[in-house]
Amino acid sequence: MRAKTIVRTPWLLCALLLLPLPASAQGSPERMFGLGTYVSGGYYMAKSGDIKRDTPALVLLDLELEIPFSRTMALQLWVPVLNIALFNSADNSKGAFWMQGFFKMYIGGENEGLFVAPGAGFWYLSSGDTECVLFDVAARAGWEFSTAGRGFGFTLSVRPWLDIIAPTAGSGDTALGFGVLAEAGFHFYLTR
């Protein structure tokens, strides 16, 4: 009997952690603007012609801007600031830029709980003799834990994306790439 209680306790704890934090009785404050960052790790793969990439992916110190449309929908713009700076400082780098935009929708909650976010993005990479433009089809899904005042949110999410890699003239063949990141996000919001 005691062994069963010990086994069930972690599942109960996990279930309780997934419950949204309580909002005030009058309804939650409305978010006006948000700024956040993620710590992300995952995997990226692209193979075709001159392009051969099969590597772990780590994204630190990125920046995300969020503009809410309602209590259940928001537009997000994401830029990996540190990764771009590191790539641009490499010896053979001629330049890089990457950004993704998402349409975030909360399922069954106001600015908290389960969310899905379809999106798209754009990369530009130039290194050595290779120069290419990448177009992303992306998505993000996860759970946001919000404070009662909705001024702070913590998210756990997963973000897969598919790249269409279009090298510039003379750089190689068009290719497909795939990436996925597990993310932990910290978000600060201006509310009213």
CB 20 within 8 A of CB 143: no
Evaluate whether the domain defined by 30-191 bears CATH number 2.40.160.20: yes
pLDDT, tens only, 72-129: 999 999 999 998 998 888 867 788 899 999 999 999 778 889 999 999 999 988 877 7
Burial bucket for residue 92 (CB in 10 Å: 0-12, 13-18, 19+): exposed
Residue 9: the pLDDT is: 53
Q: What is the mean pLDDT of the chain?
A: 84
Give backbone dihedrals phi and psi of 93, rounded to 5 degrees, phi first.
-80, 135
Question: Which 3 state secondary structure label does DSSP give 9?
Answer: helix
pLDDT, tens only, 20-49: 544 443 467 899 999 999 999 999 998 766
pLDDT, tens only, 145-156: 999 898 999 999
The conformation of residue 90, written as its DSSP 8-state character, comes to S
